[in-house]
């Protein structure tokens, strides 16, 4: 297979929610609680929702920046590529990057929508959450059918409301939700508690994929405030390993054979070690732990039946496809986050997979994703010939992909001699912004 013949789906991209997002999706009786897009005297922009200020973090809007600014805080929309927040520009950036379709996670309301859990008026919170989903499904995804895979957020802290929202968005054609990877860290019962049974049942009945994004619950800790920020960035994807082991032992996966779990932005290189260790622990310890995966079954069997993983660049993982499972691997672009290799995804991805059989390349680059998410992007776009890297890039010849300086707040002080940026440097920027927000 040639590079331009690849078809690529990203199961992990992100949205910087735009100022117009609430305009069309709040019932008339609730217009008074419409979140407001504001600008301070210094030019910085932010959302106000139910009296709370929501601030962007620069690593979330890094696409298209010169590398020296990847860690800079974006205080304004004009310090980002328009594709971060404008759907028309996003489609153009997807075309320029050869990406046929993508799953998009929230930013301002948290990766799993749990910001709404913190609002004191929970009636208003549910109204706003539903409006968010309507904007995401009908406007962001619906404006260009076949290009973005709808994914809802749910009020997982209110089971009746969560099940009702799953049924509502499923009726709109949505087959995915984003959920906290460890709800017990957000004041909810553990995933092994009977509290969750109605949610597992609803997801199974409606073929809903449960997406667990890194840092939605268990976050990578900073080794110290003096540690280079690189250390935190390196360990961030693998920080979900503890939660992944927890979900691997979720007994509901046996009760609901079609339930699917997607580990977003987590990488794949560490997966063989996780499932090998899980099999060892099960065989070696189950006599006293009483874990039970059924006759002749191992944790690795459950993993291959229920889990999807993804990678940006992971040559080690791709050398161990057999240990992970060919049907368990997908690609992620991570646009517009700082780890994204936009607009060079096809080149970097092809270099990683070109040695593989064409059928395996297809599975990893798009087929697994479309199969798990029950999303026929190829059919909606009129056939594979319209979905390839070459076909999409042909539509994007006018798109400028040269790196740009957008400015923003860099973790080092203006004029400071270059030195390794530390966790403390980044924390101070975030703290300063939080103080200004308060």
Q: Does residue 73 register a pLDDT over 90?
A: no
CA distance 290 to 166: 33
Distance CA 121, CA 374 (A): 35
Q: Using pLDDT thresholds of 50, 70 and 90, give the confidence band for residue 56.
A: confident
Give the neighbor-by-neighbor strand order of the sheet with 45-49: 36-39, 45-49, 52-54
Q: Other C-beta atoms within 10 Å of 217: how many?
A: 24
What CATH class does 3-42+82-396 carry?
Answer: alpha beta
At 431 the pLDDT is: 81
pLDDT at 432 over 90: no
- Maximum CA extent, the chain: 66
Task: Count CB atoms within 10 A of the CB of residue 423.
Answer: 21
For residue 201, the model assigns a pLDDT of 98
DSSP 8-state code for residue 416: P
Structure tokens at 310: 């993804």
Residue 434 pLDDT greater than 70, yes or no: no
pLDDT (0 to 100) of residue 359:
98
- Cα–Cα distance measured from residue 136 to residue 151, given in angstroms and rounded to the nearest whole number: 8
Strands (E), 115-185: 148-149, 152-153, 176-179
CB of 335 closer than 8 Å to CB of 97: yes
Asked whether residue 344 carries a pLDDT value surpassing 80, the answer given is: yes
Can you give the pLDDT at residue 438? Answer: 56
| Domain regions of the chain by residue span | 3-42+82-396
Mean pLDDT of the chain: 96
């Amino acid at each position: 297979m040639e590079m331009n013949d690849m078809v690529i789906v990203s199961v992990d991209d992100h949205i910087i929610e735009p100022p117009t997002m609430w305009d069309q999706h709040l019932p008339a009786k609730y217009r008074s609680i419409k979140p407001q897009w504001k600008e301070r005297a210094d030019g910085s922009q932010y959302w106000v929702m139910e009296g709370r200020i929501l601030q962007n973090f620069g690593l979330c809007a890094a696409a298209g920046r010169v590398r020296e600014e990847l860690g800079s805080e974006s205080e304004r929309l004009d310090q980002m590529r328009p594709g971060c927040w404008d759907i028309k520009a996003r489609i153009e950036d997807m075309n320029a990057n050869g990406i046929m379709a993508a799953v998009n996670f929230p930013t301002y309301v948290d990766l799993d929508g749990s910001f709404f859990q913190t609002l004191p008026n929970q009636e208003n919170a549910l109204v706003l959450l539903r409006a968010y989903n309507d904007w995401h499904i009908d406007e962001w995804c619906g404006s260009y059918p076949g290009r973005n895979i709808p994914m809802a957020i749910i009020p997982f802290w209110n089971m009746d409301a969560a099940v009702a929202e799953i049924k509502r968005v499923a009726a709109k054609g949505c087959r995915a939700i984003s959920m906290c990877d460890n709800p017990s860290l957000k004041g909810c019962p553990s995933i092994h508690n009977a509290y969750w049974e109605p949610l597992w049942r609803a997801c199974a009945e409606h073929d809903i994929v449960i997406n667990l994004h890194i840092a939605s619950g268990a976050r990578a800790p900073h080794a110290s405030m003096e540690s280079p920020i690189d250390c935190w960035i390196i360990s961030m994807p693998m920080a979900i390993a503890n939660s992944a082991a927890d979900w691997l032992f979720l007994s509901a996966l046996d009760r609901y054979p079609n339930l699917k779990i997607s580990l977003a932005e987590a990488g794949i290189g560490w997966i063989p070690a996780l499932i090998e260790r899980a099999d060892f622990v099960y065989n070696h310890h189950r006599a006293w732990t009483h874990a039970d995966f059924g006759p002749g079954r191992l944790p690795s069997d459950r993993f291959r039946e229920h889990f999807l993983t993804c990678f940006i660049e992971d040559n080690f993982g791709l050398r161990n496809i057999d240990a992970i499972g060919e049907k368990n691997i997908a690609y992620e672009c991570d646009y517009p986050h700082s780890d994204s290799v936009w607009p060079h995804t096809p080149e970097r991805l092809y270099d990683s997979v070109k040695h593989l059989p064409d059928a395996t390349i297809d599975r990893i680059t798009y087929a697994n994703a479309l199969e798990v998410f029950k999303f026929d992007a190829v059919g909606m776009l009129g056939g594979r010939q319209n979905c390839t890297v070459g076909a999409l890039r042909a539509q994007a010849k006018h798109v400028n992909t040269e790196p740009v300086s957008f400015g923003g707040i860099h973790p080092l002080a203006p004029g400071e001699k270059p030195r390794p940026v530390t966790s403390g440097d980044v924390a101070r920027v975030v703290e300063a912004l939080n103080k200004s927000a308060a």
